[in-house]
A = this chain, B = another copy of it.
């Protein structure tokens, strides 16, 4: 993953080429989701419709639709004035969120384990190897990205079209808070749970996979809570942050 400056402008058709229907919206949605997941938008930050549209080089129209979807997915919340902002998660809601994560992702992990294939194990092992490398290099952004890829690859293997959107909604909710909070202390990254998950998959031990997946989630929750203030994550230098990220997913 290259952390090069994003070209937020919507890719236009080169010269008289076809442009797919709903192309702008799709791009805007990816941009927003990626931004939320990678910490480009801070908890509490209000998103201006017009500014976002200007940043993307489009009219406010597609952005409105995208923001609506994100509000519906609880990734954003609307203020009394109709604006939307990134939710600030207090400890109690963080606990709620991660309790549901344990339930839902534990279920997905168990389902995935029951239909595991050598190909899946190989892919997960490869991702985890990259993750270990990123950890070794203290490359936090890649740690987060690869950790997400590991989990989602596993959950996708469950084959449930119902579970995935729900899990994605949860990740979008805690994403901004997590990605910001992990910048404060030097997070002691640890992929040992992932190794246990891989072992469980190889042994076709669904219960073991579920157990360590839940353990991984619980560990993450504790880490987040240890740095989360009562009013959610607060960063004195938050405003100074301006993440640059790319949109390839």
Q: How many protomers of this protein does the assembly include?
A: 2
> Is the CB of A93 closer than 8 A to any CB of chain B?
yes
Given contacts A72-B72, A74-B165, contact A107 B103 (CB under 8 A): yes
Instruction: Using CB atoms, name the residue of chain B closest to A106.
Output: B103
Contact check, A96 vs B22: say whether CB atoms are below 8 A apart: no
> Is the CB of A233 closer than 8 A to any CB of chain B?
no
> Is the CB of A58 closer than 8 A to any CB of chain B?
no
Known: A100-B162, A166-B169. 8 other contacts (CB 8 A): A21-B82, A65-B68, A68-B69, A69-B69, A72-B73, A97-B162, A100-B107, A162-B170
**Complex Cα gap A103–B170 (Å):** 16
Within 8 A of B (CB), among A96-119: 96-97, 99-100, 103-104, 107
**Complex Cα gap A165–B72 (Å):** 9
> Is the CB of A224 closer than 8 A to any CB of chain B?
no
Provide the main secondary structure of the chain A interface.
helix
Instruction: Using CB atoms, name the residue of chain B closest to A165.
Output: B74
Contact check, A100 vs B160: say whether CB atoms are below 8 A apart: yes
> Is the CB of A71 closer than 8 A to any CB of chain B?
yes
> Is the CB of A161 closer than 8 A to any CB of chain B?
yes
Within 8 A of B (CB), among A18-71: 21-22, 64-65, 68-71
